[in-house]
């Protein structure tokens, strides 16, 4: 379970991170993400799996519409931003 609106650092887990997740982390994760929602069984994947909805801090701080996207938690390490 994740704390909503917590500023986090997200890094890929070596060997189990999809290309989609890698691309999003590289393009949108320079200043981290805010956790917006968490689902134990998100139906966006087949079979459903745990996922977290992230918002790009970099986009938000730059005044752009922030990127929002679901990332499977099994593909990443999520730690509080320091």
pLDDT, tens digit, 9 for 90 and up, residues 17-63? 788 889 999 999 999 999 999 999 998 888 999 999 999 999 888 89
Rg (CA), the chain: 12
Q: With a cut of 80, say whether residue 1 has pLDDT above it.
A: no
Q: What is the pTM of this model?
A: 0.88
Domain residue ranges in the chain: 7-80
Choice among 11-20, 57-66, 69-78 with the minimum mean pLDDT: 11-20
Neighbours of 35 (CB within 10 A): 18
Q: With a cut of 80, say whether residue 76 has pLDDT above it.
A: yes
Those residues whose C-beta lies under 8 Å from the C-beta of residue 2, and which sit 6 or more positions away, are 8, 35, 38, 52, 78
């Amino acid at each position: 379970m994740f704390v909503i609106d917590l500023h986090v650092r997200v890094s890929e887990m070596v060997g189990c991170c999809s290309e989609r997740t890698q691309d999003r982390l590289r393009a949108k994760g320079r200043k981290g993400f805010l956790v917006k929602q968490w689902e134990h069984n998100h139906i966006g994947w087949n079979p459903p799996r745990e996922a977290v909805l992230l918002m790009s801090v970099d986009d938000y701080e730059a005044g752009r519409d922030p990127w929002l996207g679901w990332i499977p938690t099994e593909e990443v390490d999520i730690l509080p931003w320091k």
